[in-house]
Amino acid sequence: MTITSWELDYATIKPWIIAAPQTERDLLKNDRWKDFFIAVCNNLTIVEAVNDIGCDLVTFTWAIEEYNESFAFANTEEADIACAIMNRDINDGVFNGRDEHRPKAYAERAREQIIVADEMENLVGAGATATWRGSGPGSGTTFEQWASAASEGVAPSIVPSTVINCWEMVLLAAFRCGAIDWNRIHALYDPTPPDWGAFLVDQLSFNSRISYNPASPGTARPIRGDVVFFDGASHVALAAGSVDSLGRTQIYSFWPPPNTPFNTAHPQYATVDQVKLTTIEELNDYWVANGNPAFVLEFATANW
């Protein structure tokens, strides 16, 4: 007899799954048990089963197949990030198995996070420089003029004459690798809500933002490609998904601190710099050492 979800549902077998040690749950990660769980589960409970068994490249593929879709993961990192994105969605209470809130969409978003982070990493390795300056609608930076134009032109090059700020460098990296198009960037600069900085942060966040506490050893850390916010839009960086030798959370950042002096001769401190690999802790320590309150630190899945 073929077992189907009409004869047995996941709620019935869930207690047995969660009572088993992880070593025994891992034994379920094969095609025979995949067929069983896809038969027993529906579009919503398959996600619960995947998390109970242990979300990874193997089991996340089950969730995608439950929806009669497919996705070829390039590596385990993509699957791990997809699992994290899905669980954030579940924690937010917005997982519904539809549109962008379904397993394949999480996998696609995970791939985007990686390729944007890879692009930022390439910029670090290239050592190309541009001029950092604060920005926003009407600021007149090279990037803002391109983003606010009536129609799409040639994207700014990363050269010293290009004036661009922190989040614009992240947006440019996402554009260069195809994760976001010009129309989406243009839409960010077109409206003028009362608090444009808060609007930008919301637009760049796919899920609810997660607090980061450098003083807490057990604090949640961003995954590769997450957007990292310092006092909202005061500074925006991209998570590298790694830690340095001191256990500090690494990020790709385009901002003079912590090791490039601001050009104080310029009225807006416009400073030639490059994308650098630094840490959340180094930027926060720099800020506090210069007489400022510690940053409010948050991160979120990127909303490309």
Torsion angle in degrees (nearest 10) through CA of 188, 232, 142, 256:
-160
- pLDDT at position 256, please? 97
Residue 167: HSE in the Cβ half-sphere, 13 Å Cα cutoff? 25
- pLDDT at position 191, please? 74
Phi, psi of 37 (to 5 degrees): -70, -35
- pLDDT at position 242, please? 98
- pLDDT at position 6, please? 52
- pLDDT at position 35, please? 95
Q: Do the beta carbons of residue 254 and residue 119 sit within 8 Å?
A: no
- Dist CA 184 CA 251 (whole Å): 24
The answer, yes or no, to whether the previous bond of 160 is cis (omega within 30 of 0) is: no
What lies within 8 Å, CB to CB, of 160 at 6+ separation is: 129, 130, 131, 272
Tokens linked to 200: 């930008």
- pLDDT at position 5, please? 47
DSSP letters of 207-252? S--EE--TT-TT---PPTT-EEEETTBTEEEEEEEEE-TTSPEEEE
Q: Which residues in the chain show pLDDT less than 70?
A: 1-7
- Domain borders along the chain are 10-114, 115-300
